[in-house]
Amino acid sequence: MASKEFCRPDPEELLRQITAQEAHEARGRLKIFLGYAPRVGKSLRMFDEGRRRKKRGQDVVIGAIQRKGVDDITGLIREFEIIPPLHVGDADTIDVEAILRRAPQVCLVDELARDNPPGSKYPHRWQEVAEIRAHGVNVVSAINLQHICEQQDAVQRITGRRSANFVPQSFIQTADEIVLVDVPAEDLTHHGGKSSLSPAQLSELRELALLLAAQVVEHQLQSYMDSHGILQSWGTQERILVCITPRSSARSMLESGARAAQRFHGQLLAVYVKQGELTRAAEEAVEENLEFARKLGAEVHVIGGDGGAKDPIAQIVRFAREQRITQVFVGHTQQSSWKFWSQNPVDKLIREAEGMDVRIFPNAGVQAA
Amino acid sequence: MAAEPGSPAGHKGKLKIFLGYAAGVGKTYQMLTEAQELKLQSIDVVIGYFEPHGRAETIAQTAGLEFVPRRIFEHRGATFEDMDTTAVIARHPQVAVVDEFAHTNVPGAERPKRWQDVMAILDEGIDVLTSLNIQHIESLNDQVWHVTGIRVRETVPDWVVQEADEVVMVDVTPRALLHRLERGVVYSHEKAQQALENFFTESNLTALRELAMRQTAHQLEERREELRLPQPVRALDSQRQESILIWLTLNPSTAMLIRRGRRVADYLNSACTALFVARDSTMSELSAENRASVERLLNVCRNLRINPEVIESPEPAKAVAAWAREHGITQIFVTRDAPEAQKLVHLARDMQVTIVAERVRHAT
């Protein structure tokens, strides 16, 4: 088994992790409550969290309250110290400097997605939160799905509407903890008809939010594993690798891969191992396949390149382990006699790709009807 | 599953599952909170079964709710308490709260599993609220083992979970859960220490939580398909339908293979069958032990609603390829270490063959 060498992160990588870890520890922790639609109760959950932390003796203040008619929270916030907002023109922004002077342990910031009035120090509220955290203050905040930049196209497809304010998903990924405020869609439509969205629309939004939360959690899991030097995949997310060669029936493999990645909400990768001199036609075939992979949203990698890789299978397996691949897709080669399987690259791959599924595709032309 | 034609109420009750990723996330608490809210709305709700686990906050949440008394079962001189399903049905509330969906009933009970009791209650037109942890879902059994090193024995078949009208994920962060454990909210201190060292590590919990989120998302998609609600447009869905065949062999990983095949078939919305090739018609050439293994595998299939077939042939790989071709199979699943797995790969070059690996578990 060749897995030993993959268990040791290289020194550069270790250094990067340590630096990141140090910056991370000095920074205040960020906890985000994520809602999938307005009025699921994310602000309530956030203030409730603040209340429980206060009860446990932590020093908690409110940095921002959403003002739009939420009666339920009036009672909840009464017990907190509120840092008054700054007035800029006829609008309010967080008074970051006052919060930093006050230096609490925890600052509650409602509605993470807000644009500040012109003339404010930071155009967006999430930038203020980043600043507060940078000074070691923990922040608890709340946001709805439709305010996350990378989700806005999908949300608009579902609801036909698009919110003006947004936060980049990369900022959400920096959260130490994310909590999904999961309420069944029927609670929003039945009881009191709070929502103007249909059950189908709410169900789709809920699914998106769950998958986004899963993605953030996956990210946390990876950083945890990285920082503890664990190079193991738990396969909580399917990661599919399609092996491209000049001859393989790449299109059908890539289509199946994209479909599986979509259905499992996983990741699609495509890899090509450079192998010596190719004919012009073969080179074009490879390029065409890689282009098709990109079109399907695959992450494309070309590896090798020392001119005529000696052992392309070993390179693929090594790459797959580094990328925590769960399924490898590969096409049959032209030779057909299984009697010589010990030399057959497909069989070599099956033998070496321990711990991963290997799906072997028919060669173009012999595909079953 | 359609409503039983003979069901007295004429319609099936609705099933709502509170799904968690570990003990102590607050499933039962949230379920009881919902029961209290229903009661406030003058809905007739009773507790059919409740497992207090000595958690004060959860017990407090039952205040004012009606309990259907548990039934005492006697078995070989010992007595056991469990849900009195007959009494719950006789009481006929609008909603029954039934904790711990994956529970295996005590010996002497009418049905072996609690989920079967729940099905019986639903058949009477009574709605049910129940609680379930992600590790009890049958097709996730291997993945949970892979993450935690624990083989969960009490499982609920996936089709049963898919019957649910609503699945709510009860979510807390692993850090908050670990704090709860340390404060002794979930277990007694001694037991908490053990739990912290084994199952409840931050990485385990994080991985299980991710699985629960993905499972709940998948459930929503399935549900919309079932109700034929409009689906988001998927560019690749026009592709022809897949049909999966699971090749059953005596290789020890075969139960894992069946669960994986089922899961993939569910996600791809494809048909799923299984095939065992006996070398002669009576399977008499198999030892008693092996015959029992085959029976066990066939039962794993049936439990997951896969129709297993047994055929005879002196050349298994060849027979599988031929059977698959005849039945319009597009993809054959086989375990990595099955004898003749690689032979099949080359005999079925006109189909896709998926070699399924036991995912290796390293101690962490």
> The domain spanning residue A261 has which CATH number?
3.40.50.620
Q: Which residues of chain A have pLDDT under 50?
A: 1-9, 191-192, 336-341, 365-369
pLDDT of residue B64: 94
Q: Tell me what the mean pLDDT of segment B349-362 comes to.
A: 81
Rounded to whole angstroms, how far apart are CA atoms A85 and A62?
10
**B29 pLDDT band (50/70/90 cuts)?**
very high
8 Å CB contact of A350 and B355:
yes
In this structure, the number of other CB atoms found within 10 A of the CB of residue A130 comes to: 17
| Cβ-based contacts of B362 with chain A (< 8 Å) | 232
- In angstroms, rounded to a whole number, what is the distance separating the alpha carbons of residues A225 and A116? 38
Q: With 60 as the cut, is the pLDDT of residue B11 above it?
A: yes
Position with higher pLDDT, A119 vs B101: B101
Q: Is it the case that residue B124 has pLDDT exceeding 60?
A: yes
Residue that wins the pLDDT comparison between A40 and B5: A40
Mutate which: A34, A182, A248, A295, vs B, most B CBs within 10 A: A182
Paired tokens of A34:
């994520």
B243-356 folds as: Rossmann fold (3.40.50)
Question: Is the predicted pLDDT of residue B323 greater than 50, yes or no?
Answer: yes
pLDDT tens per residue, range B141-177: 888 887 888 888 889 998 899 889 999 999 999 988 8
Q: Nearest CB to A203: which of B224, B342, B357?
A: B224
In a domain, A343, yes or no: yes
Of the candidates A179, A259, A265, which has its C-beta nearest B239's C-beta? Answer: A259
Give the integer Cα–Cα distance in Å for B200 and A247: 48
Contact A359 B351 (CB under 8 A): no
Quickly state the pLDDT bin for B134 (edges 50, 70, 90): very high
Inter-chain touch B345–A368, beta carbons under 8 Å: no
CA distances for B276 relative to B156, B249, B315, angstroms: 24, 6, 12
Q: Does A362 sit within 8 Å of B217, measured CB to CB?
A: no
DSSP run (H or E) holding A24: helix A11-26
Q: Single out the residue in A174, A197, A227 at which a domain terminates.
A: A227
**CB-based contact A341 B342, cutoff 8 Å:** yes
Summarised one tens digit per residue, pLDDT across range B173-218 is 998 888 888 877 666 666 666 665 667 788 889 989 998 998 898 8
Q: Is A367 among the domain residues? A: no
For residue A50, the model assigns a pLDDT of 94
Q: Tell me if A201 is assigned to some domain.
A: yes
- Listed residues A203, A227, A251: the one ending a domain: A227
Report chain B's mean pLDDT, rounded to a whole number.
85
- Is B177 within 8 Å of B22 (Cβ atoms)? yes
Q: Are residues A168 and A81 in the same domain?
A: yes
Indicate whether A66 belongs to any domain.
yes
Write out the E strands in B24-160: 45-49, 66-67, 71-75, 78-82, 95-98, 127-133
Q: What is the pLDDT of residue A215?
A: 84
- Give me the pLDDT at residue A10, please: 55
Q: Which tokens belong to B106?
A: 């005590």
Query: Is A273 found in the same domain as A159?
Result: no
| Residue percentage of chain B with pLDDT more than 70 | 87
Same domain, A300 and A193: no
Say whether both A78 and A146 belong to one domain: yes
Range of A299's domain?
239-361
Give the type of residue at B91. R
Residue A111 lies in a domain: yes
pTM of the model: 0.76
Which residues fall within 8 angstroms of residue B302, CB to CB, at 6 or more apart?
Answer: B308
Q: For residue B7, what pLDDT is reported?
A: 45
Which of B213, B334, B356 is the mutation pick for testing A, counting most A CBs within 10 A? B213
Q: Which residues of B touch A180 (CB under 8 A)?
A: 169, 171, 213
Look at residue B248 in the predicted model and tell me its pLDDT: 95
**Same domain for A200 and A250:** no
By the 10 Å C-beta count (0-12 exposed, 13-18 middle, 19+ buried), B26 is classed as: buried
Q: At what angle do helices B141-148 and B202-226 cross, to 10 degrees?
A: 160
Residue A40: CB atoms within 10 Å: 28
Q: Assign a CATH topology to domain B15-226.
A: Rossmann fold (3.40.50)
Residues of chain B with pLDDT > 90, as a percent, come to 45
CATH value at residue A176: 3.40.50.300
Structural domain includes residue A223:
yes
Q: Give the C-alpha distances (Å, rounded to integers) separating A168 from A116, A145, A148, A203.
A: 16, 11, 6, 23
Hey, are the CB atoms on B232 and A157 less than 8 Å from each other? yes
What Rg, from alpha-carbon coordinates, does chain B have? 23
What the block records as the tokens of B8 is: 């007295």
Number of domains forming the structure of chain A: 2
pLDDT the model gives residue A239: 92
Q: Which residue of B has its CA nearest to A235?
A: B143
ipTM tops the 0.95 cut: no
Q: Is A4 exposed, middle or buried (0-12, 13-18, 19+ CB in 10 A)?
A: exposed
Q: What is the pLDDT of residues A211-254, one digit of tens each?
A: 899 888 888 887 777 777 665 666 678 899 999 987 767 888 89
Domain with CATH 3.40.50.300 in chain B: 15-226
